[in-house]
Chain A
């Protein structure tokens, strides 16, 4: 390669993070809405599929920005929504906690 990409890519990644973190926060908002609907026993198929899709996207991108815990949590949420989480109270609580943790992780990354 003959180049030192570290500093250049670090700076560029920071810029991309600033640009795309609102989009990631919006994806977490969908997960929060789905978890709230599940808790209320009002999760529609449409919102469940949307939550699964947004979780899938978060799983694919968060680790790229170094948030590997976020990728694992998002994968868990994707799987839960894809498989239909039903109405079990502990599942709703768990998915609520995942959304909250994802919110924290994304907000904390600089």
Chain B
């Protein structure tokens, strides 16, 4: 289903998965990945959600803090998480470590989102053990391709 209007799943529950379910356009259900975006900046959160929903047709859920992200990751079991680095309260690296500590979320691939472009910052973030570090600003038309390529979803 192509999400032509931008309605991210702030509160809506994702449906249970059924491996043999097919979408209207014939794509296998398993191709509709579920992504959790954790970012305190509403503009970035909304653009990323729009991009992944509209371009890739993925299910997107958002969280506006590390704490909310931990709860939603555990509850909704996304296929991957886009996690902002700089957030008030629990920042991205701390949120990532908490995700890894929890057996229900430890397996979920995490891609960090950051506007920090200095090589020292990039190395520090990569050393955390995340799947990748994506630099903001991103291109809304190609963000999903980046994610697919990194996670081997092609």
Name A residues whose Cβ lies closer than 8 Å to a Cβ of B.
1-3, 5-6, 8-9, 12-13, 15-16, 19-20, 23-24, 56-57, 59-65, 68, 71, 75
Contact = CB atoms under 8 A, between A and B. Distances in A.
Query: What is the interface of chain A mostly: helix, strand, loop, or mixed?
Result: helix
Interface of B: 2, 4-6, 25-27, 41-44, 46-47, 50-51, 54-57, 86, 114-115, 117, 136-141
A60 B47 CA distance: 12
Nearest to A13: B140
B2 A20 contact: no
B115 A56 contact: yes
A55 to B, nearest CB: 10
A61 B54 contact: no
26 contacts: A1-B56, A1-B57, A2-B26, A3-B57, A5-B2, A8-B2, A9-B51, A9-B55, A12-B54, A15-B6, A16-B43, A16-B47, A19-B46, A20-B43, A56-B115, A57-B115, A59-B115, A60-B41, A60-B136, A60-B137, A62-B137, A64-B44, A64-B139, A64-B140, A68-B137, A75-B115
A26 to B, nearest CB: 12
Nearest to A70: B137
